[in-house]
Amino acid sequence: MKLTGNTIFITGGTSGIGRALAESLHNLGNQVIISGRRKGHLDKVTAANPGMASRELNVEDPASIASVAASLIAEYPKLNVVINNAGIMKADNAAAAMDDAQMVSIMSTNVMGPIRITSALIDHLKTQEAATVMYVTSGLAFVPLAMTSVYCATKAAIHSYAMSQRYLLKGTSVRVLEIAPPWVQTELMGPQQASEPRAMPLKDFIDETIAELGTDADEVLVERVKMLRDNPGPNESAFVNQFNDMMSGH
């Protein structure tokens, strides 16, 4: 995609991959609008990045999505890129009784949120000369981490949804991209993950991702995630088992 001169809306833009991606795209000469639930966090990011804008948004709330989408279209008629990045990742146990409230929250945020946001903006995006919808999924969409089973299932669901949407938008001005990160040094599962030596440094991930975004690739994959992306197939269970044994220290 074209890396400059866009008007970009990104969800979950106050921390981690979302903030780093927003700041990198902002510095490349794009109008970036970030969103998140907490105004204080939004204000902190926009203050550090003059010219960046923000919207308070609860991606679990359809009314909040509808309101924000309407205001974006009215205030930013050139909006042409939507990055569905907001997501939550929590440990669970698929071999025991599931915490229903946690499951519903993860599903609402990670699956229904991106679908609703894109649905609210898709007709507007079709009017743009060149538009892009992006979904931030995960390498765990292809090789699930058993201790976060619901999270992994949501990312697999969005991978599938993105492929269907890409097919249906063939011949339009709207491209559908998927960014599938590996394990990255963020605070997605707590502060300790930000310095986890086995995870990819956030800056390295963003630099490589931006370079890939500048190509014609539909799936934006850094080198470190390709082993996971390439795994699905008739013998995928063996790799999944090996991966989970390694992650759990077995």
Average model confidence (pLDDT) for the chain? 96
How many structural domains is the chain composed of?
Answer: 1
Whole-model pTM above 0.75?
yes
> What are 57-75's pLDDT values in tens digits?
999 999 999 999 999 999 9
Give the residue-averaged pLDDT of 62-90: 98
Give 38's contacts (C-beta < 8 A, 6+ positions apart): 14, 56
What confidence tens digit (pLDDT) does each residue in 140-149 have? Answer: 999 999 999 9
* Residue at 185 is within a domain: yes
**Band of the pLDDT at 81, cuts 50, 70, 90?**
very high
Q: Pull the structure tokens for residue 180.
A: 């599938």
pLDDT band, residue 188 (cuts 50/70/90): confident
Catalytic residue numbers? 151
184 found inside a domain: yes
Q: For residue range 191-223, what is the model confidence (pLDDT) as tens digits?
A: 888 889 999 999 999 999 999 999 999 999 999
> Sorting pLDDT into bands at 50, 70 and 90, what band is 80?
very high
pLDDT at res. 245: 94
Provide the b/e sequence for 115-130 (b: ≥16 CB within 10 Å): bbbbebbbebbeebee
Domain assignment present for residue 2? The answer is: no
Structural domain span for residue 70:
7-248
Q: Is residue 172 part of a domain?
A: yes
Q: Which of 37-51, 112-126, 231-245 has the lowest mean pLDDT?
A: 231-245
Cβ atoms within 10 Å of 157's Cβ, excluding its own:
18
Within-domain flag for 1 = no
Here the CATH number for the domain that contains residue 14 is: 3.40.50.720
CB half-sphere exposure, 125, CA atoms < 13 A: 25
